Structure 1
Amino acid sequence: MTKTLKWLAVVSTICMIFVLIGGALVTKTGSGAGCGKSWPLCEGKLLPSDITPELIIELSHRLVSGIGAMIVAVLSFLAWKRLGHIREVKFLSFMSIFFLVLQALIGAAAVKWGQSDFVMALHFGISLISFAAVFLLMLLIFEVDKKMDTSRLFIQKKHRIEIYLLTCYTLFVVYTGALVRHAHASLVCKDWPFCTNNAPFAFADFRLDQWIQMGHRLAAAVLFIWTLSLFLRTLRYYKGNKVMFWGSMTLIILIFFQVFFGAMVIFTTLNLGIALMHALVISCFFSLLCYYVLLSGRCASNSTVKTKRNTTDLEHYAKS
């Protein structure tokens, strides 16, 4: 059963990647209305006769999302049933299904009734949380045979808090990036990293879409500096720990690629492949951060248990 769960977890994670990239593809190609105002059918039919590229993209995304939802549901059920004794499994099983359904409902509402750019920008972040939950569930399943044993890992409290804050801030940066796409602000600044457009730089002359673009760039710059700072301190405090060292190394590589692809989106005037890579890299970055949130939670729990044991021992010693 463990082997079956592993394969199912890997397939579910791959499906969720396609769901994420498919959603980004729909947004970047403007294919959200490819099936008209009909959902889950397309133009009120299972297969419309008038086939357009936008229809193919939107219908394919719906199909992949539906298949992915069924596979994730099976994974969540089996993981809950077989590995429910592991404290994070039930929570992650629920999260993966809940946020997958939530993002589908938001997408359906946008098709049927339309939504503002600020609401639709939530869509990618919700999908990202669902993907991260499935990804963590996969890692927990692979931990069962102790080949990925992290039980001895200790993360200092101040660094645990920083990991929590950095993860939440990453979601905020993701939201601002999604807002750039939905507000059609991707190319309102022709240069990078500033927004001069071959004119004197003046904040007072910015339009709303330029403020959205530059707000995202500023938020992304803070994320880059924060990640770099955390990486350097990880080398100092955890240089002997492989999980912390290689994890932080992967994070810094991902954030470098994220900044690179973000700049290339501007220089290539919104090349579709580069834009999709931009979405994929931040998804991997956020999911890895979530893994460290999970490890931090374990460390906090272990510290609490250890403190209670020490208190109990001291009380017993005082009574004796």
Structure 2
Amino acid sequence: MIKHLKWLSVVATIGMIFVLLGGALVTKTGSEDGCGDSWPLCEGQVVPSEFTFEMVIELSHRLVSGSVGIVVLILAIIAWKHLGHIREVKFLSVSSVFFLVLQALIGAAAVMWGQSDFVLALHFGISLISFATIFLLTLLIFEADKKLDTESLHIQKKHRIEILALMIYTLAVVYTGALVRHTESNLVCPDWPFCYNNEPLNVIGYNFQQWVQMGHRLSAAILVIWTILLFIKIVKNYKKSTVMVGGWSIALSLILLQVLSGALIIFTMLNLFIALAHALFISCFFGMLSYFILLANRSAYKEKSGQVNETH
């Protein structure tokens, strides 16, 4: 059964990546109204009589989301039944279904009644959390046969707090990025990393969209610097842990790729594939942070149960 669960979990995780990228594609191609204000039908029909490019994008996203939702539900039920004895499995099984339904409802509400840019920007963040719960469930399934050895790992309290703070801050940065998309502020600053002629103090006369764009760039820069500093701490304190050093090396690579793709969005004038890669990198980075939160939670549990000394 574990073998089948592995395949199912991998399909669900990959499917959620397509859901995330599909949502980004809908926004970036302006296909939010591709099916009008009708949901879950398209223009009030199961199969529209006429198709437009925007309709195909929106309808494809709905079909993929619905199919992945069924896979996630099946995965959650089977994982609960066969791996419910693992402490985190039941919580993640419920959470994966809950956040998937929540993001679908937010999307449906936006289609039928419309939402402000600030509310719409929440959608991608909810989708990220949904992806993270499924990604963690997948890792737990692979842990079941000891493919991932984390039993001896203990993360110090100060590092647990910092990892949690970094994850919360990442969600805030993701929100600013989503706000850039929904307010159509992607190309309002022609230069990079600063807005005009790369002059950092030339902020007089910025309009709302330029403040949104530069606010995102500043928050992203802080995220990168913070990740680099935490990576150095992790390597110094957990150099014997393959999971920590290897995992944080992947996380650091992802956030650097995120910055590179963000710059290329400006240089390529919003190339669609670069923009989708930008969404992919931050999704994977958030997934990695979620895994470290799970490991940190285990360390805290061990301390409370007396299995390890807090100063270890």
What residue number does 2:262 align with? 262
> Is the 1:13–1:138 Cα contact (8 Å) retained in structure 2?
yes
Q: Residue 6 of structure 2 corresponds to which residue in structure 1?
A: 6
CA contact (8 A) 1:189 1:197 kept: no
Letter matched to residue 48 of structure 2: P
Q: Distance in 1 between matches of 2:5 and 2:198?
A: 56
Q: 1:71 offset after TM fit, Å?
A: 0.4
How far, CA to CA, are the matches of 1:301 and 1:201 in structure 2?
A: 48
Q: Give me the whole-angstrom Cα distance separating, in 2, the residues matched to 1:179 and 1:309.
A: 44
Aligned to 1:49, the other structure's residue is in SS state coil
- 2:276 corresponds to 1:280: no
Q: Which moved more, 1:97-106 or 1:196-205?
A: 196-205
Q: Aligned partners of 2:230 and 2:308: how far apart in 1?
A: 30
For 1:105, the equivalent position in structure 2 comes to 105
Looking at structure 2, the residues matched to 210 and 285 of structure 1 have their Cα atoms a distance apart, in angstroms, of 26
Tell me the CA shift for residue 204 of structure 1: 3.0
Match of 2:92 in 1: 92
* Cα contact 1:6–1:142 (8 A) shared by 2: yes
| Cα deviation code 1:41-68 (max 9, x no counterpart) | 0000111122111000000000000000
- On the 8 A contact 2:258/2:282 being kept in 1, the answer is yes
Spell out, residue by residue over 1:93-117, the C-alpha distance to the aligned partner (whole angstroms, 9 max, x if none): 1111111111111111111010000
Aligned residues: 310
RMSD of equivalent CA atoms:
1.6
CA contact (8 A) 2:80 2:89 kept: yes
Q: In 1, are the aligned partners of 2:89 and 2:137 still within 8 Å (CA)?
A: yes
Segment drifting more, 116-125 vs 149-158: 149-158
Q: Is the 8 A contact 2:303 2:309 kept in 1?
A: no
CA distance in 2, matches of 1:202, 1:263: 19
Question: Residue in 1 aligned with 2:40?
Answer: 40
* C-alpha distance in structure 2 between counterparts of 1:289 and 1:147, whole Å: 20
Distance in 1 between residues matched to 2:20 and 2:291, nearest whole Å:
19
Which residues of structure 1 form unaligned runs of 5+? 311-320
Partner in structure 1 of residue 159 of structure 2: 159
| Aligned residues of 2:302 and 2:308 also touching (Cα < 8 A) | no
Partner of 1:59: 59
Shift of 1:198: 8.3
Question: Which structure shows the bigger proportion of residues in helix conformation?
Answer: 1
In the alignment, is the contact (CA less than 8 A) between 2:121 and 2:179 conserved in 1? yes
Q: CA deviation at 1:306?
A: 1.1
In structure 2, the partner of 1:210 is 210
In the alignment, the residues of structure 1 paired with residue 204 and residue 96 of structure 2 have an alpha-carbon distance, to the nearest angstrom, of 43
The answer for the alignment partner of 1:31 in structure 2 is 31
Amino acid at match of 2:139: L
Matches within 5 A, 1:280-299: 280-299=280-299
Contact 1:33–1:111, Cα closer than 8 Å, also in 2: yes
Q: Distance in 2 between matches of 1:20 and 1:308?
A: 39
Structure 2 stretches lacking a partner, 5+ long? none
AA at the equivalent of 2:204: A
Q: Pick closer, same or farther for the CA change 1:204–1:149 going to 2, 3 Å.
A: same
Q: Using the TM superposition, give the Cα deviation of residue 234 of structure 1 relative to its aligned residue in structure 2, in angstroms.
A: 1.2
Question: What TM-score comes out, normalization by structure 2 length?
Answer: 0.97
The 3-state SS of whatever aligns with 2:142 is helix
The higher radius of gyration belongs to: 1
Correspondence 1:179-190 to 2 at 5 A:
179-190=179-190
CA distance in 1, matches of 2:47, 2:120: 26
SS at structure 2 position matched to 1:87: coil
Deviation at 1:203, TM superposition (A): 2.1
